[in-house]
Structure 1
Amino acid sequence: MEHAMSELAAAVEQLSSLPRSERSEFLENIVVGEFKDVLLMGGDEDFPIDQSYFTLGFTSLRLMEVKANLEKVFGRTISTNVMFNSPTVEKLVEYLADEVLGDLIP
Structure 2
Amino acid sequence: MCHRRIRDRCLYEAHGVHPKVGGKVSRLVPVMSELMLMPVHERREIIEDLVVRELKSALFMTDEDELPLEAGFFDLGLTSLKMSEVKATLEQELECEIQTTVLFRRPTPGQLIDHLTD
What is the rounded CA distance, in whole Å, between the counterparts of 1:11 and 1:58 in structure 2? 24
Could you say which residue in structure 2 is the equivalent of 1:96? 116
Q: What's the offset of the Cα at 1:77?
A: 0.2
Residue 49 (1) aligns with residue 64 (2): no
Residue 59 (1) aligns with residue 79 (2): yes
Structure 2 gap ranges (5+) = 1-25
Normalization by structure 1: what TM-score?
Answer: 0.75
Alignment length, in residue pairs? 89
Going from structure 1 to structure 2, the CA distance change for 1:68 and 1:19 (only over 3 Å counts) comes to: closer
Could you say which residue in structure 1 is the equivalent of 2:5? none
Structure 2 contact 51–109 (Cα < 8 Å) conserved: yes
Normalization by structure 2: what TM-score?
Answer: 0.68
Q: CA RMSD of the aligned region, Å? A: 2.1
Structure 1 gap ranges (5+) = 1-6, 99-106
Aligned AA (1:86): R
Could you say which residue in structure 2 is the equivalent of 1:4? none
Runs of 4+ aligned structure 1 residues displaced above 6 Å come to none
Report 1 or 2 for greater relative contact order, CA contacts < 8 Å, sequence distance ≥ 6: 1
Correspondence list, 1:1-106, <5 A = 10-12=28-30, 16=35, 20=39, 21-98=41-118
2:73 is paired with a residue of what secondary structure? coil
Aligned AA (1:91): Q
Aligned AA (1:11): V
What is the rounded CA distance, in whole Å, between the counterparts of 1:97 and 1:19 in structure 2? 10
Query: 1:17-57, CA deviations, whole angstroms, 9 ceiling, x for partnerless residues?
Result: x9623221121011000000111110110000011011010
**Quick one: percent identity of the two aligned structures?**
37
What is the rounded CA distance, in whole Å, between the counterparts of 2:49 and 2:85 in structure 1? 17
What is the rounded CA distance, in whole Å, between the counterparts of 2:101 and 2:62 in structure 1? 28
Higher strand share: 2
